Structure 1
Amino acid sequence: MILMNFVVQQQVPIVFMHSFMSYAWMMNGIISKIQKINPDWDLINCEVGNGALDTFFMSIDQQTDELAKCINNDPRTHDGFIGVGYSNGAFLMRNYLQKYNHVKAPMLRYVSIAGPVAGFFCGVDSNCWLFRKFPKFLSKYIKSHVYTQQYQENIGPAGFWRDPYQLDTFYANSSVLSQIDNSISVNSTYKLNFMSVDRIVLFGSPRDGLIQPWQSSWFGVMKNNSEHSIVNMQSRFEYISDSFGLRTMNEQSRIRIIDTNLTHLQYMWSGKFVNDFLEPELRMEALRGWWFHQNEYKTRMDYSLFSRKI
């Protein structure tokens, strides 16, 4: 393991990804505030397919492929970019980072705004934002279908649905979340890609009101067979085993957990959030270098990303 050093000489483009059941234009409030502060920054606003319906009826991998097209069809991103995802968009950014960072335009920093980065679940006992408490028949229907191949391949949220009452089925059949968590077996590429960013910024809040559990925004999960007991990031077996690099990143002080005290929808219009929380995390002058297993990572990133001035 060696310490790779490099110096950022200019700001890199910032790519934004919108939330579930919404459109790219809904990110315009955040983007316009950042552009007002930094008129010379390149800000790229991506869309999943045709927007809201495709965030539901496309699988997470299909949505991530749409995000990858948006990123890689823009020549400004080819030397690296900052990935900013809001809510569902944050999960898509994580999926892009772990699956594509070694073969496509490299994400240099990952920023999650109230993202369900450790999964989502709403059952009979949960206070869900839209339904409050799910009707029992709906909860039973989701439980029996969500981990079928049909749902995993055609319903977006199924890809990060983490049911604490059937974790064995989740681990075996989740098409995305259990895979990038390396819960069953370790994909070294997913792990190395996760650690390839300079830092990970996690914005979240106990007042969120939509993400279930809200601690998912900080890589917390529901305890086995409980909707009310939470296993925080550092107590998870994936953290203890360092299955996808979460422990390494945290021990190297490359994970920033920030409590915004905001509800889920307040991120979309809060000038204070953009000015005081988000915009400072998008400045690249803090990018310096990090520890890396160079001998295990034989891709273009060994040389093009780490050994050059950007």
Structure 2
Amino acid sequence: MDVQAVGLSLLLLHFTSALQTQPWTAQNNTQLPVVIWHGMGDSCCNPLSMGFIKKLVEEKVPGTYVLSLEIGNGITEDVENSFFMNVNDQVELVCNILSKDKMLQNGYNAMGFSQGGQFLRAVAQRCPSPAMKNLISFGGQHQGVYGLPRCPGESSHICNWIRKMLNWGAYSSPIQEHLVQAEYWHDPLNEELYRSKSVFLADINQEKGINGSYKENLMKLNKFVMVKFLKDSMVVPVDSEWFGFYNAGQAKVTYTLQESDLYLEDRLGLKVMDNAKKLEFLTVDGDHLQFSEEWFITNIIPYLK
């Protein structure tokens, strides 16, 4: 018998066996995929924002599959939904997208920009499969906001209209159901109203009741990285980017994550994660989402490798 033919047969048999025992995907022996969720007024593929980040990750971590989430059918709808699509519906949509993406089934890292930070945290808490490994939140408002000093296109009609609606009645049912920014509006002057009427933030922060799976799922993260922008002119208070917020009954003095009831009662497992060195607190000496390419490469890329 031809020795060469025998060797080739054995090689083919080994290869066939490997295919049968291990799913053959582009993710075998490559980096974990990265999922990106953009912020208010942005889109999945803006070449100056998420498009740039996507290319940068692909360049600096070769072999990485990067999914920049598009909420809706096309760029225009994606931008509109960042203002007007119920956040719970957005999170459910994203969970379905991730569960059906074959490239993500072995796990993925996630990066959320501005409101995308708390939205991806909701994904981690509500949808543990596929598994999120590291979550990086850039200026995410994890304790909400109490003020909207500016938003993309400050002089535009849409931003002015949002401010009027929030001032008129952020917790009215129609606004809670259809205005994204109202769903993480946190009024420290009326905490009881916030807890009872908030349809999104109060839920994921375990302020309406305790869902044990939220805590269990979040604690599965290897790292939860929170980036605070020290000169942020959009997020009020900026402490929210590290889970801090205003003390109840006023809107001047703030508390830290470690001083919060959320941490002290450990409703999300953040205290355990902090003690286990799973929480990372980074700062940028700039305005909202303003960081250099060099800073990103030095401080963020290591979490993606």
Is the TM-score greater than 0.5?
yes
The one-character-per-residue Cα deviations of 1:173-194 (angstroms, maximum 9, x if unpaired) are 1111111111242110111111
Contact 2:112 2:138 in 1 (8 A): yes
Who is 2:31 aligned against? 11
Equivalent AA in structure 1 for residue 97 of structure 2: C
Which residue, 264, 270, 273 being the options, matches 2:295?
A: 273
Contact 2:117 2:140 in 1 (8 A): yes
Which stretches in structure 1 are left out of the alignment for 5+ residues? 1-7, 132-136, 284-310
| Gap change, CA 1:265 and 1:249, over 3 Å in 2 | closer
Contact 2:106 2:131 in 1 (8 A): yes
Who is 2:240 aligned against? 216
| Count of aligned pairs between the two proteins | 265
Contact 1:203 1:260 in 2 (8 A): yes
Instruction: Report the Cα offset of residue 282 of structure 1.
Output: 1.5
Instruction: Report the Cα offset of residue 89 of structure 1.
Output: 1.0
Who is 2:285 aligned against? 261
Which residue, 139, 143, 146 being the options, matches 1:118?
A: 143
Who is 2:256 aligned against? 232
Who is 1:191 aligned against? 215
Larger radius of gyration: 2
| Gap change, CA 1:153 and 1:114, over 3 Å in 2 | same
1:107 aligns with 2:129: no
Instruction: Report the Cα offset of residue 128 of structure 1.
Output: 4.5
Identity over aligned pairs, percent: 22
SS at match of 1:16: strand
Which residue, 110, 113, 126 being the options, matches 1:86?
A: 113
Instruction: Report the Cα offset of residue 39 of structure 1.
Output: 2.3
State how far apart, in whole Å, the 2-side matches of 1:185 and 1:70 are. Answer: 28
| Gap change, CA 1:139 and 1:13, over 3 Å in 2 | closer
Instruction: Report the Cα offset of residue 218 of structure 1.
Output: 0.6
Who is 1:287 aligned against? none
The one-character-per-residue Cα deviations of 1:63-100 (angstroms, maximum 9, x if unpaired) are 21232233223211112111111111111101111111
Contact 2:61 2:301 in 1 (8 A): no
| CA RMSD across the alignment | 2.3
Equivalent AA in structure 2 for residue 172 of structure 1: S
1:21 aligns with 2:46: no
Contact 2:229 2:289 in 1 (8 A): no
Equivalent AA in structure 2 for residue 44 of structure 1: L
The one-character-per-residue Cα deviations of 1:39-72 (angstroms, maximum 9, x if unpaired) are 2111111112221111111011112123223322
Equivalent AA in structure 1 for residue 45 of structure 2: W
Contact 2:30 2:63 in 1 (8 A): no
State how far apart, in whole Å, the 1-side matches of 2:273 and 2:242 are. Answer: 13
Who is 2:78 aligned against? 51
> Which structure 2 residues correspond to residues 169-188 of structure 1 after superposition, within 5 A?
169-188=193-212
SS at match of 1:24: coil
State how far apart, in whole Å, the 2-side matches of 1:121 and 1:149 are. Answer: 18
| Gap change, CA 1:210 and 1:138, over 3 Å in 2 | closer
Contact 1:33 1:274 in 2 (8 A): no
Normalising by structure 1, what TM-score? 0.79
Instruction: Report the Cα offset of residue 246 of structure 1.
Output: 1.4
Contact 1:208 1:262 in 2 (8 A): yes
Instruction: Report the Cα offset of residue 157 of structure 1.
Output: 1.3
Who is 2:4 aligned against? none
The one-character-per-residue Cα deviations of 1:254-292 (angstroms, maximum 9, x if unpaired) are 10000122221424xx21122111111212xxxxxxxxx
> Which structure 2 residues correspond to residues 281-292 of structure 1 after superposition, within 5 A?
281-283=303-305
Who is 1:4 aligned against? none
Equivalent AA in structure 2 for residue 30 of structure 1: I
Which stretches in structure 2 are left out of the alignment for 5+ residues? 1-27, 156-160
1:203 aligns with 2:222: no
SS at match of 2:280: strand
Who is 1:96 aligned against? 123
Who is 2:58 aligned against? 35
State how far apart, in whole Å, the 2-side matches of 1:177 and 1:93 are. Answer: 12
Who is 1:60 aligned against? 87
Normalising by structure 2, what TM-score? 0.81
> Which structure 2 residues correspond to residues 160-175 of structure 1 after superposition, within 5 A?
160-175=184-199
Contact 2:39 2:114 in 1 (8 A): yes
State how far apart, in whole Å, the 1-side matches of 2:271 and 2:85 are. Answer: 31
